[in-house]
Amino acid sequence: MKKSPIELINLSFSAIMVLLTVTGFFVFLFTDLMSDRVFGIKRYVLAFLFIVYAMYRSYRIFRALKSKMDKDI
């Protein structure tokens, strides 16, 4: 399963984005960081958007890896 450098960069960037968005989810849901600017329902909406985006990026990584594996077989 040999990948080109561009594919590896894309997958690496996607994995980093998943980690950052999951971290953002936990930060906004379980800490009081920026609670003076983002409070109430806005915090929950922002945390929800972070986790939805992380799931979307995870799905894209999964789909890219699966299609690559299917092509190699």
73 pLDDT above the threshold of 70: no
31 DSSP 8-state letter: S
- State the DSSP code for 38: S
Q: Please check whether residue 21 is in contact with residue 51, taking contact to mean a CB–CB distance below 8 angstroms.
A: yes
Q: Give tens-digit pLDDT for 5-53.
A: 888 898 899 999 999 999 999 998 999 988 889 889 999 999 999 999 9
Residue type, 9: I
- The three-point CA angle 30-19-36 to 5° equals 35
Q: Where are the domains of the chain?
A: 5-72
The pLDDT of residue 1 is above 60: no
Do 21 and 50 contact (CB within 8 A), yes or no? yes
Mean pLDDT value of segment 50-73: 89
